Structure 1
Amino acid sequence: MQKIFILLFFIMFFSKGNAQNLVPVDEGSAIKFSIKNFGFSTGGSFTGLKGKIQFDAGNIANTSFTVSVDATSINTNNESRDKHIRKEEYFNVEKYPLISFASAAVSNGDKPGTFLMKGNLTIKGVTKPISFPFTAIAQNSGFLFSASFNINRRDFGVGSNSMVLADNLLLSLRVFAKKN
């Protein structure tokens, strides 16, 4: 019985031993969005990445993401539009200064180096489950995680029932995370 306990201890210890503890950083990262407004594509970006990532490509079940960006950092290259988007109707950054994501499950994708993320996205105090594919590439003593997927802004109470602003927007994520 003691041998079984010792064997189980070593299996658990070494299976978690390959997971890397990472910290997302702005340098090398890009959090971008694009949306149609009056039929034209417009977009912007966020900075202020924070969080914890535990990544284990060999045992993807040991992988988890808890990441946020600073909603006040929104940049559309138009300061008056940025001020307007920070207000209550859109991001209400005074009350909700962070946009956050926490993974619930990560699994292998169809191709090597691809994965499927399931988790909860919180914008403006509203949390919704989302899922999306992503890639992970070892880079500069860390990993570059990349994904592109659509979300509906109205699911999170961002913006009004505008006839000129599209409901769906494309999020493009390039998150560089370095060893902690």
Structure 2
Amino acid sequence: MRHIIKIALSVFIFAGWGNTFAQTSKIVSGSTKFSVKFILGTCEGSFEAPRGSAVFDEKNPSAASFDVKIAAATFKTNSNSRDKDLKSEKYFYVEKYPDIHFKSSKVEKKDGKFQTTGTLTMRDVSKTVTLPFEAKKNADGTYTLSSTFDVNRLDYKIGEKDWKLKDIVTVSLAAVIK
């Protein structure tokens, strides 16, 4: 009986210790910006801040995880007609696919830099991607996580091949987690 109590107590202490260092944080603010070159220059735009959750401790990146969503219909490019077109079935099809979603499967520090591998889903296409990111601990205890990466829009059925519009979109994502 004593042996069972010791085992139960050890499991309880270990579980409590693990939760102390791996707490789920909520994304409290951030930004999402993108740019893509086209025949007349560069189209720049933004989405509303990402939302979701993150578990992150820079001293133990392998225990980290991210589950981030961006509302696809929230982008702005300073052109109402272009924004309307991008929301259509031809591009983001926001009526049917309201979110862009990233869920990590692995987080690691490689060559002094962080990266996360996971599934990026846009429309009805999911692909495994590895995204670099930086983590900055703020004075108030929050973290600012930021990443800049390229996405081939055609891989996710965002529009069609078009000589007037480049395929590669550069995305800059920032999230403050607390």
TM-score by length of structure 1 reads 0.87
Code of the aligned partner of 1:133: P
Look at both structures and tell me which one has the larger radius of gyration over its CA atoms: 2
How many residues align? The count is: 174
Equivalence for 2:17? 14
Tell me the SS of whatever aligns to 1:80.
helix
Partner Cα distance (2:124, 2:171) in 1: 19
Identity in percent: 34
| Structure (1/2) with the larger helix percentage | 2
Partner Cα distance (1:5, 1:57) in 2: 31
Partner Cα distance (2:150, 2:33) in 1: 12
| 1:110 CA displacement | 1.6
1:82 aligns with 2:112: no
| 1:141 CA displacement | 3.3
Code of the aligned partner of 2:104: S
CA RMSD of aligned residues (A): 1.9
1:23 aligns with 2:26: yes
| 1:87 CA displacement | 0.5
Equivalence for 2:161? 161
Equivalence for 1:45? 46
* Contact 1:24-1:51 within 8 A present in 2 as well: yes
Gaps of 5+ in 2: none
| Structure (1/2) with the larger strand percentage | 1
Deviation beyond 6 Å, 4+ runs, structure 1 = none
Tell me the SS of whatever aligns to 2:48.
strand
Partner Cα distance (1:21, 1:142) in 2: 12
Code of the aligned partner of 1:165: L
TM-score by length of structure 2 reads 0.88
| 1:4 CA displacement | 7.0
Gaps of 5+ in 1: none
* Contact 1:18-1:58 within 8 A present in 2 as well: no
Equivalence for 2:73? 72
